[in-house]
Amino acid sequence: MAIKNASDLLIYKNFASATQVTRILFKATPTSGTLGNLIIKNATNGSGTTADRTTGNVSAHTPTQAATVVKSALEAFGYTVSSIGSSGPTSKFIDCTNGQAGFVPSITVVGGTTTLDQDKVEVDITTFGSASGYEPIAFSTSASVSFTTDMRDTTSKDSSGFYVGLGGARSFEMSTDALQDLNSDLDFQEFFNDWGNRTEVTLRFSERLTSGVANDRFYQGNAFVTSCSMDAGVEDNVTYSVTFTGTAATTTGEQ
């Protein structure tokens, strides 16, 4: 007997690989003292190697100079870095795209032989890196999949008073309820964005993926978010529900 535990059945969403984009902003007079270098910690190159990088020396204690030396050091390590932009009258920023797709450590900038005022630098990840593949909807409390066939009414006067039908369009629907976790990649906001942008997503209803375990059945197809709702009762967990309506064919197989 191979009865499945319902707790192990989940809905997974497919993600394309993405590279991480980090914005580094320097405010007025970010450095002081010796006109020396800065250190970029946890930089990751296109081969996935993570290392600290030392910049060239700043020629002045200005946001533009700090951004310039960091930009050069990251580009030499394989990053794609934007032109220096302005944020307000005195702040400068650069957007740094990591060379390695997938999740990578967050870079930070600290003082080297020149002193860096940490209150004058902000490092924000604007796009998180992700590897391609399927990610489960986090903290799911229920998951379901259904398949339907619309019947074509072919009843006629020759049907002896009985309904007669033929198979028509086939469709599927997946739905899930989950606890809202603000630190999860797949939370209510993700599906709200899919709904708002009318984004077609690829879903898989399957056994929980476990390393070394094969031959688990899955059901997969493309769908749109057709409803999403959130519930926040007094002294209760915040929960949300999402319904996906399938479009085009579905497939099944073993993973």
Q: Is residue 9 pLDDT above 90, yes or no?
A: no
Cβ 134 vs Cβ 185: under 8 Å: no
In this prediction, residue 185 carries a pLDDT of: 65
Alpha-carbon span 70 to 86, nearest angstrom: 16
Alpha-carbon span 20 to 127, nearest angstrom: 5
Q: Is residue 213 pLDDT above 80, yes or no?
A: no
Mean pLDDT value across the chain: 90
In this prediction, residue 16 carries a pLDDT of: 78
**pLDDT class of 211 with cuts at 50, 70, 90:** very low
pLDDT tens digits for range 147-158? 999 999 999 999
Question: Domain spans of the chain?
Answer: 6-15+134-254, 19-130
In this prediction, residue 184 carries a pLDDT of: 67
Closest CA to 176 of 220, 227, 123: 227
Q: pLDDT > 70: what percent of the chain?
A: 93
In this prediction, residue 46 carries a pLDDT of: 85
Q: Is residue 217 pLDDT above 50, yes or no?
A: yes
In this prediction, residue 210 carries a pLDDT of: 56
- Write out the two tokens for 193: 């964005």
**pLDDT class of 6 with cuts at 50, 70, 90:** low
- Write out the two tokens for 132: 């391609």
**pLDDT class of 69 with cuts at 50, 70, 90:** very high
Mean pLDDT in residue range 24-43: 96
Q: How many residues belong to the chain?
A: 255
**Distinct helix (H) and strand (E) counts, the chain:** 2, 17
Q: Is residue 82 pLDDT above 50, yes or no?
A: yes
Is the C-alpha dihedral spanning 221, 222, 227, 230 positive or negative?
positive
In this prediction, residue 43 carries a pLDDT of: 94
Mean pLDDT in residue range 203-231: 82
Mean pLDDT in residue range 32-46: 95
**pLDDT class of 196 with cuts at 50, 70, 90:** very high
Topology, domain 6-15+134-254: Pnp Oxidase; Chain A (2.30.110)
pLDDT tens digits for range 128-144? 787 778 888 888 999 99
